[in-house]
Amino acid sequence: MPTYFELQTGSVMSRLDTTADLLQLVHQEIGAELVRTEEIFDEELASTNPFVGDIIAHTRRFRGKRLRPILLLLTAKACGNISDAHPILAAVVEMIHTATLVHDDVLDMADVRRHVATVNVRWNNETSVLFGDYLFTHAFHLAASIGTADACRIIGRATNRVCEGELSQVRHRGDLDLTEEAYFDMIDGKTAELCAVACLLGAKYADSSSTVVDALREYGRELGLAFQIADDVLDIMGTEDAIGKTLGTDLDQQKLTLPVIRLLSSLSSEEANELRRQIRDDGCNAGPEIIRLCQEKGILEETASTAQEIANRAAKRLSILPESPARRLLELLPGLAINRVC
């Protein structure tokens, strides 16, 4: 594994091998700020209501690698200034992300997230919806503590965009003629927007110029797009034991993702209609046939290549920043994200 010294001097630009390698370097760079983010997150959600406390304790078990707080804090560090506002904003963005996951599990009828029963399974859909709302309201309450209206406006606009993306996905459920253009617009909202706003906030509250803020927002957006494309490949090819969440929900709910859209476009009209019938009638049971056809036609490799191209584009946006360990970690994140290490 590269040493922190090598990262500082720029002598290591190759891919890290494991998630642990990356996280070790991230924690050397922004560990104290990540700890503070966790403290703020927990302090804001602390409740004297035992039932609410049980739900909070349960959802703490499926916290991930904190990609969005990492993006926000690394961006701030790369811009030269982590302020007291940054851990607060990182907690806000993570709270919103957690709320979307809780609501997503209801929409997807998912049973497992990060090897733990989802809130809707542990309790019920009503509890999940209300707890997601609880997280949203706490996020905006916390954002208001920054002392300027800008943070709430920026986060509110981003949250609206996330909701638009989710609504678009609901609208297109069962649309087995979904276009790539509609797919990209949908994932730009539901996934990429929060990554974009994390980087925007990191740069803006480090007093960066508007040019730098815009570049880093687009870096986060492209990282989020690449991440979602990789996630969609995993929904077809992954295993629940390895990934730690319910898979196959996209096919069960007739939600087309990029690999399936491209597969359908590669087939003859007759073959495509037959595959649409299988998806409509069999849901995730059509998975083996989709995998076979994707492998036969190289669709998964083509889709992975698209994710890699977008990840490369994201990394190039960082040339606007001065060289630093934080910038180098940001350069590594897109490639690692598409390999599902964050």
Residues 6 or more apart in contact with residue 133 via CB below 8 angstroms: 99
Domain boundaries, given as residue ranges, for the chain: 18-338
pLDDT of 12 reads 38
Tell me: the pLDDT tens digits for 237-249?
765 554 444 555 6
Q: Which SS3 state, helix, strand or coil, does residue 340 take?
A: coil
Q: Where is pLDDT greater, at 8 or 43? A: 43
pLDDT of 6 reads 39
Q: Give 85-144 as a 3 state SS string.
A: HHHHHHHHHHHHHHHHHHHHHHHCCCCEECCEECHHHHCCHHHHHHHHHHHHHHHHHHHH
Cα separation, 26 vs 338, in Å, equals: 18
Write down the CATH number for the domain with range 18-338: 1.10.600.10
* Beta pairing, strands 116-117 & 112-113: antiparallel
Tell me: the pLDDT tens digits for 228-271?
999 888 877 765 554 444 555 678 788 899 999 999 999 999 99
Tell me: the pLDDT tens digits for 159-183?
999 999 999 998 998 899 999 999 9
Rg of the chain in Å (alpha carbons):
20
Cα separation, 317 vs 335, in Å, equals: 14
